[in-house]
Amino acid sequence: MDTPRMTRPRVRLVGGVCAGFAEHTGLPLPLVRTITVLLTACGGAGLLLYCWLWATTPIAQDSTDPLKRVLTRPSDPAAADGDDAPARSAPVTEILLGVALLAAAGALVASRMGVDVPLAFVIPAIVVLGGAGLAWRQFDDLRSQRSSSSSALLVRALGALVLVALGILLFFVTGEEPNVWTVFIAAIAVLFGVAIVVAPWLFRLTRDLAEERAARVREADRAEIAAHLHDSVLQTLALIQQKADPASDASRLARAQERELRDWLFAGSPGSSVDLADELRRLAAVVEQEYAAQINVVAAGQSPSSVPDALLGAAREAMLNAARHAGGTVSVYLESSPTAVELTVTDRGPGLSLDDIPSDRMGVRESILGRMRRIGGTAELSPGPGGAGTEVRLLLPLTDGAHHVDV
Amino acid sequence: MSMSDPSAADLTVVIVDDHSIFRSGLRADLADGIRVLGEAATVDEAIALVVATQPRVVLLDVHLPGGAGGGGAEVIRRSAAQAPNTRFLALSVSDAADDVVTVIRSGARGYITKSASGADVSDAARRVADGDAVFSPRLAGFVLDAFGAVSGETAEASDELDRLSAREQEVMRLIARGYAYKEVAASLFISVKTVETHVSSVLRKLQLSSRHELTAWALERKLL
């Protein structure tokens, strides 16, 4: 059940089939489009395949955060959120209708000029095509806005279906001698034609409904659980931290639990990338588990997603030092501009100056200063807030933008 | 202000939170000299209580049920006009920018996380009552980001709403690094009062600025 399903994106050129297929298989989109066009030239095989996939693949879902809705639930749940209809950049039904009209005009002109056009065949075909195009358009509208003014849309859709039926009947009235069999075949043909036009819509409507119901149940369940955890467990953990001594085990455990729970509750989309700020938070969590310290990580700016490991190593060492020798509250501040990454680790411990450190202490000299120097950055040690504690400042210039990846 | 009333000097507060455990815990922990006038658990209860009791400070949870679903921000919007002397201090289990900026832009004077101790909350409530702003390190980080300070934008005129002055940026950077106001003042060789003025000015910009990042951010979350 875990195999990813092929879905069509919400923003598409025609039906989103090529984009969905490219996404699913990992092939480049232009290649998929070209192959589709080539296959279409081969007796319409590409077109048939396209239509089949269009009818059978669902549209991609966009996920919204249901938790906030539940936490601040209105007293009267009247405000409903309308989900946006998929946006298409090529007007397919309009193109179909236009082609039908152009073909009609062309056939008319050609017959006037004396060319022998099988009008008895062409005119019904155009009527059927136009009717099908109109019907599909109405069904699409009907599907995207189910509730509002659906009766008017339904009438229009039925009108388009009548057009289809009329077109099919036209094939037969031009025949020579109407007998029981032609009437019978005409009736069957009309039923069959209308069924073909309606089938994809019905098929998708039922699948939409089933999917929507399942999704709603899933989302409601998850939101209920999340809201319950948020209301009970998170509040209790906050209360424990409020009551307990910040350096105590109870406070530390509560903090670690809170972080884990919060990660689960507010988990972003699974594909979201891990940037420098996330890495720092992860490191801080690891250090916090070992030492009696609280590490607050604050990030400003678009943090780069790839930085040299040495920067992370130096940051980790600075956090470890602060947690080990100072404890209490340690603040980490990361500021990432397009040209440089600046990271400060501030503690309120006994303080430490570079001159006091024996040269054989690897910790600060090698792991922080040396590491930063080797990747072309700098590291400075200075007294912390108000002259107490220590502040380690790491600065890494991003010269060529090689380390900075814009998302 | 009758001098015969022994509690006239007390700071009056109202606690708004939908968790009774948290309300009673906070109530027990608040410092002496802070008098709790009442508690409320929903948006509608909170508005009625604030208007009826006219407290100096409302300790307001960001996520609240009831009303039109606007949570703490809705309480501020709907009761501020009828309680002109009341200031709002927002409380939440997280200090994520989503939660913070919504209530700040609705008019809250500051923000503190629920894991803060009773003494910290009392201190923040006093500062808010005095007309100062309360900033968390994370909020300072968000402000630096949203006003383009990270990419080097600096206000040229002092009345400019869409960018921070050089001094305001320095103050915000130190707050983001976890400095207390007193430590900020010592590091920049200015008075604590001056630090408070800068922070209040930043808060005003955060509330009133029509800077693209803030308005786009607010629009996306249907705040405008």
What single string gives the DSSP state of each residue in A150-164? Answer: HHHHHHHHHHHHHHH
A337: chain B residues, CB-CB within 8 Å = 150-152
**Same-domain status, A115 and A198:** yes
Q: For residue B116, tell me if it sits in a domain.
A: yes
Q: Within 10 Å of residue A249's Cβ, how many Cβ atoms?
A: 10
CA distance B127 to B136: 13
What pLDDT is recorded for position B191?
93
> Which of the listed ranges A270-279, A310-319, B1-10 does the model predict with the highest average pLDDT?
A310-319
**CA dist list (Å): A381 to A293, A312, A361:** 20, 17, 15
A333: chain B residues, CB-CB within 8 Å = 137, 141, 173, 176-178
Phi and psi at residue B178, to the nearest 5°: 90, 10
Q: For residue A389, tell me if it sits in a domain.
A: yes
Q: Within 10 Å of residue A339's Cβ, how many Cβ atoms?
A: 12
B118: chain A residues, CB-CB within 8 Å = 242
- Give A357-386 as a DSSP string: S-TT-HIIIIIIIIHHHHTT-EEEEEE-GG
What pLDDT is recorded for position A1?
42
Over range A296-319, report the average pLDDT.
85
Q: Which of B63, B141, B186 sits opposite A298 (nearest CB)?
A: B141
Q: For residue B3, tell me if it sits in a domain.
A: no
Q: Within 10 Å of residue A50's Cβ, how many Cβ atoms?
A: 20
**Partners of B58 in beta bridges:** B14, B88
B18-56 confidence digits (pLDDT tens)? 888 888 888 988 888 899 999 999 999 999 999 999 999
Q: Report pTM.
A: 0.63
**A8 DSSP assignment:** B
Give helix then strand counts, H and E, for chain A: 14, 7
CB contact under 8 A, A336 and B150: yes
| Residues ≥6 apart with Cβ < 8 Å to A89 | A11, A12, A13
**Same-domain status, A291 and A148:** no
Domain final residue pick, B134, B153, B173: B134
Is A6:A55 a contact under the CB 8 Å cutoff?
no
With 50 as the cut, is the pLDDT of residue A271 above it?
A: no
What pLDDT is recorded for position A307?
80
Give the B window 124-153 contacts with A, CB below 8 Å. Answer: 137-138, 140-142, 144-145, 149-152
Average pLDDT, rounded, for chain B: 84
Spatial strand order of the sheet with B34-40 comes to: B34-40, B11-16, B57-61, B87-92, B110-113
CB contact under 8 A, B71 and A69: no
The band of A70, judged by pLDDT with boundaries at 50, 70 and 90, is: low
Q: Between residues A308 and A5, which one has the greater pLDDT?
A: A308
CATH of the domain at B26: 3.40.50.2300
Distance from CA of B4 to the nearest CA of A (A): 36
What pLDDT is recorded for position A61?
58
A172-186 confidence digits (pLDDT tens)? 665 566 677 777 777
Domain final residue pick, B118, B134, B150: B134
**Same-domain status, A281 and A197:** no
Q: Does B59 touch chain A (CB under 8 A)?
A: no
ipTM for the whole complex: 0.81
Q: Which of A73, A301, A337 sits opposite B69 (nearest CB)?
A: A73
Q: For residue B144, tell me if it sits in a domain.
A: yes
Domain holding B148, by residue range, is: 138-220
A235: chain B residues, CB-CB within 8 Å = 19, 21-22, 93, 114
CB contact under 8 A, A262 and B144: no
A373-382 confidence digits (pLDDT tens)? 888 888 888 8
Q: What is the 3-state secondary structure (H, E, C) of A311-324?
A: HHHHHHHHHHHHHH
Domain final residue pick, A161, A192, A207: A207
With 80 as the cut, is the pLDDT of residue A397 above it?
A: yes
Q: For residue A102, tell me if it sits in a domain.
A: yes
Burial class (CB in 10 A: 0-12, 13-18, 19+), A267: exposed
CB contact under 8 A, B173 and A301: no
What's the token pair of residue A129?
């095509």
Closest CA to A252 of A294, A281, A296: A294
Domain final residue pick, A191, A207, A223: A207
Looking up tokens 């931290």 gives A241
With 80 as the cut, is the pLDDT of residue A115 above it?
A: no
With 90 as the cut, is the pLDDT of residue A260 above it?
A: no
CA distance A185 to B183: 92
With 60 as the cut, is the pLDDT of residue B4 above it?
A: no
B49-99 confidence digits (pLDDT tens)? 999 999 999 999 888 888 888 888 899 999 988 999 999 999 887 666 667
CA distance A204 to A345: 56
Q: For residue B24, tell me if it sits in a domain.
A: yes
Q: Within 10 Å of residue B143's Cβ, how many Cβ atoms?
A: 28
Q: Is A200 helix (H, G, I), strand (E, B) or coil?
A: helix
With 80 as the cut, is the pLDDT of residue A197 above it?
A: no
Number of folded domains in chain A? Answer: 2
Report percent pLDDT > 90 for chain B.
Answer: 33
Is B93:A234 a contact under the CB 8 Å cutoff?
yes
Domain final residue pick, A179, A207, A235: A207
CB contact under 8 A, B22 and A243: no
Closest CA to B42 of B17, B25, B20: B17
Domain holding A54, by residue range, is: 11-59+88-207
The band of A363, judged by pLDDT with boundaries at 50, 70 and 90, is: low
Q: Does A231 touch chain B (CB under 8 A)?
A: yes
CB contact under 8 A, A235 and B114: yes
CB contact under 8 A, B176 and A385: no
The band of B122, judged by pLDDT with boundaries at 50, 70 and 90, is: very high
Q: Which of B69, B150, B177 sits opposite A337 (nearest CB)?
A: B150
> Which of the listed ranges A285-289, B4-8, B207-211 does the model predict with the highest average pLDDT?
A285-289
Q: Does A331 touch chain B (CB under 8 A)?
A: yes
What pLDDT is recorded for position A401?
47
CATH of the domain at A359: 3.30.565.10
